[in-house]
Structure 1
C-alpha cells in the first residue's frame, strides 16, 4: 500500500467505498494545506480506474453545489488564522470534518428494498442467533439480512447483506445452500462464515468442507472450488472466483466471541471494521495516517474505548460531532 493511499490498487472497492474516498480526497485537496506528494497521490487515485474518476467527478459536482456553505467555512478559516494562529490547523480540521459529513450524508446509500423484505435482519452493532427448522443454527452479525427458503428437496438461504456463521445440521438427503452475490455455497454438515461487502463475497471455512461456486460473464462461465477448514475464498463480478488461501480463524471468528482482533493491521482496515459495529462513523482526514499499523483486542460493546486507545497510541487528534461522527487528524 502506498504511503497516502487508502486501498491497495489490487483490492476490490465498492461504489460506497469509492464515494467516501473521493470525498476525503476532495476535502483534503481543497483545504489549502496539501503537499505536492499528496496532490500526486490524489491524481494516481483518480487514474486507477474509470470508477475512481467517476466517483471523484461526482464528489466535485456535489462540492460545487455546496458553494454557499464552503464560502462560510473558508471565511471562518481565514478569520481564525488571524485570531487563533496556533489553533488554525485543528479548527480547520473541524470545519473540513463538517463539510465532509454533509457530503457523505448526501452520498450515503440506504438499504435496498430487497434487504428490507428479508425474513431476518440485524441493525448496526446487533447480533442474532437463529435456530432453523432443520436444526441448523445461523449466527447473524451486525447489519445483516437473511431470507430462508426450505422445501422437501433442498435447504436454501439467501444472504442479502452482512455476515453470518452457519452451523449446518447434517442431512445428506437435503443439501444446504447459501446464495450470496451471484455465488452458491453448498454443504451437508459443516460450519462456515459468509460475508458480503458490497459486491464482494468472502467464504471462510471454520470446520468441515464446502463447495463454493460462482458464475460470471467470462468465457469460463461457472467456476467452483472445494473449501476446507481454516481456508477462505472470495468472489466478485470484478475479479471472479479467487484463489483459496489459508486464514487465521482466531482473528476471523473473533466477532463470535464479541471481539475484534488486529495484528499490525492498517488503520483504515481497523476503522472499516469498527464502523460496521458502531453507530455513526469514523473517518481519517489525513491520508498519511491510513497505513499506520494497529494491533489489539477490542470488545465489540466498548468500541468508543477502543477508538480512544487507538487515538492515544497513534497520537492522533480527533474531532467529534455529536459523539457518533469522529474525524481523525
Structure 2
C-alpha cells in the first residue's frame, strides 16, 4: 500500500499575518532612511520581537537594494521636470520609491498564489470564463481563481479578488465555491463573491445561495437582493444589496451615490496599477456622486480633482491629489 499525503489548505489568517508583517518591514525601510534615536530603538525592538520580523525585513531589504527597484526609482525621478519635482517634499520621494517596492514585492509574494490558480487577472483587468458545468464567471481586477470537477461534483475557489457567477438551473449537483472562510453552495442563481484583506463578501442578484463557515460552525441561506460579509468568526448582519452601485463593476462601471471621497479613492485604487495618494485631508469627506468607466481609473482621479478644484500631480505609477 502506498501512503499518500494531501497538502494542507492555505490558512487565510496566516496569509493575512504574513502580509501585515511585510507591510511593517516596508514601513521600517522608509523610516530608517532618516530615523531618530528613538525610532532606531523602536526598530530594534520590533526586529527582535519575532524571527518572522527579521525574515521579512531581510526579504524587503534584498528587493529594495536590487537592481530592478533601483532602476525603477531612478526612472521615476528622471522623468519629472525639476520644477515639478521640487514641489514634492522629501516624504513623497520616499513614497514614490516605496510604491515601486510594494509593486515589486507583490510580484514575488504572490508566487504561491499564482501556482494554485487556473486563471489570473492583473490590476485593471477583467476576464470571462465558462466552467465545465456550464456556469459563467466574470473575474474582476487582481483576482486569482481555480476550478475542478471531482466525481461529478463541480467546485471552484476564489483565492483572491472578486468574481460574478451565473449558475444554470440544470446542474445535477450544486456548484461549490470557496472564498476564504466561506463555502457557498449554489444552483440556478446569479451572485458575486469577493475575498479581500482576509474577509469575504457575498452579494446575491438572483436566486438563493447557501453559505457555511466551517471554522465557526455556522451557516445561513442568503436570498436575492441581500449581501453579507464573512470573517473567520462567522457572518455579519445581512444588508440590502444596491445593484446599481454594488454590482456596477459587472457592467464595467464604478457608480457612487453620495459616497465619501476617501472610499471612492479606495475603490479606484483597486483598478490603478500604482499608487493614488490624497494629501488633502479636507477632501476625504467630500460626497461624490458619479458614474465612471472602471477601465480608466486615471480619468476618474482627474475628474475628482476637477470637481473639487484640487491639483493633481501625475508621475509613473504615482498620482497625487493636493
Pair in the same fold by TM > 0.5: yes
The answer to whether 1:196 aligns with 2:195 is yes
Once the two structures are superposed, the pairs formed by residues 281-300 of structure 1 within 5 Å of their partners are 281-300=275-294
Residue-pair matches, total = 268
Change (3 A) 1:105 1:163: closer
Distance 1:102 1:313 in 2: 29
Q: Contact 2:117/2:146 (CA < 8 Å) preserved in 1?
A: yes
SS in 2 for 1:142: coil
Following superposition, the deviation at residue 158 of structure 1 comes to 0.6
Q: Deviations over 1:274-308 (max 9, x none)?
A: 12222222122344433332221111232222111
Q: Deviations over 1:119-170 (max 9, x none)?
A: 1111121111112222111111111111112134421111111111110122
Q: Deviations over 1:195-236 (max 9, x none)?
A: 1112110000010000111123xxxx3111111111011111
Q: Contact 2:99/2:275 (CA < 8 Å) preserved in 1?
A: no
In structure 2, the partner of 1:98 is 96
Q: Contact 1:277/1:300 (CA < 8 Å) preserved in 2?
A: yes
Distance 2:184 2:291 in 1: 30
Distance 1:264 1:21 in 2: 34
SS in 1 for 2:296: helix
In structure 1, the partner of 2:224 is 229
Once the two structures are superposed, the pairs formed by residues 196-275 of structure 1 within 5 Å of their partners are 196-216=195-215, 221-237=216-232, 239-275=233-269
Q: Contact 1:231/1:245 (CA < 8 Å) preserved in 2?
A: yes
Q: Contact 1:14/1:198 (CA < 8 Å) preserved in 2?
A: no
Distance 2:92 2:311 in 1: 10
Following superposition, the deviation at residue 328 of structure 1 comes to 2.1
Distance 2:285 2:21 in 1: 17
Unaligned runs of 5+ in 2: 1-15, 35-52, 66-82
SS in 1 for 2:188: coil
Once the two structures are superposed, the pairs formed by residues 163-202 of structure 1 within 5 Å of their partners are 163-171=162-170, 173-202=172-201
Q: Contact 1:97/1:327 (CA < 8 Å) preserved in 2?
A: no
RMSD: 3.8
Distance 2:97 2:273 in 1: 19
Of residues 142-151 and 288-297 in structure 1, the stretch that sits farther from structure 2 once superposed is 288-297
In structure 1, the partner of 2:153 is 154
Change (3 A) 1:152 1:169: farther
Following superposition, the deviation at residue 27 of structure 1 comes to 8.6
SS in 1 for 2:114: helix
Q: Contact 1:152/1:174 (CA < 8 Å) preserved in 2?
A: no
Distance 1:251 1:20 in 2: 31
Change (3 A) 1:230 1:23: farther
Once the two structures are superposed, the pairs formed by residues 71-86 of structure 1 within 5 Å of their partners are none
SS in 2 for 1:123: coil
Q: Deviations over 1:12-49 (max 9, x none)?
A: x998689879989x999x99xxxxxxxxxxxxxxxxxx
Higher relative contact order structure (alpha carbons within 8 Å, sequence separation ≥ 6): 1
Distance 1:106 1:136 in 2: 35
SS in 2 for 1:113: helix
Distance 1:185 1:165 in 2: 13
* TM-score, scaled to structure 1: 0.68
